[in-house]
Amino acid sequence: MVGQVAIPQFSTMMAEMLLLRVDVDEAQKWLSQALDLSNRQFDRYFDAELHRLSAICLMKRKQPEAARAQLQKALEVARMQDAATFELRAALTLAAIDLQEARMIIGSVLARYPEPESWPDIQEAQHLA
């Protein structure tokens, strides 16, 4: 059971590593399998990241509209779960497609951090805002 529960998180780590190696096809395989499992088990705690990374795969394949759709799903899931960090990461990824829309989301998310830590995502968001 523990292995099944951790698959989405493990899959995101594998996909991120594969994306660093520019192995988009293999990264997307890991993400698709994790999303399938998530949909079967209704355990969507990591879905925002799965959709965000799927968007990155699509962006690398020069499919910005499909990537935007995945980012909208990522933002939707993150908001539904009140997961500000995942929402911020999705917005930072969206900046590559639509900087203006990303800035609005980033501003909204940063406002929820009264005294933000100096995490890399926060620093990047502050730079873009």
Task: Going from the first residue of the chain to its last (129 residues), give the mean pLDDT of each consecutive group of 10, the final group possibly shorter.
Answer: 69 94 96 89 83 97 98 97 96 97 95 81 89
- Burial 89-128, CB ≥16 within 10 A → b, else e: bbbbbbbebeeeebbebbeebbeeeeeeeeeebbeebeee
Tokens of 99: 């900087």
pTM attached to this predicted model: 0.89
User: Among 1.25.40.10, 3.30.930.10, 3.40.50.720, 3.40.50.300, what is the CATH number of 2-128?
Assistant: 1.25.40.10
Total H helices, total E strands in the chain = 7, 0
Task: Say if residues 67 and 56 touch (Cβ distance below 8 Å).
Answer: yes
Q: How many CB atoms lie within 10 A of CB 41?
A: 12
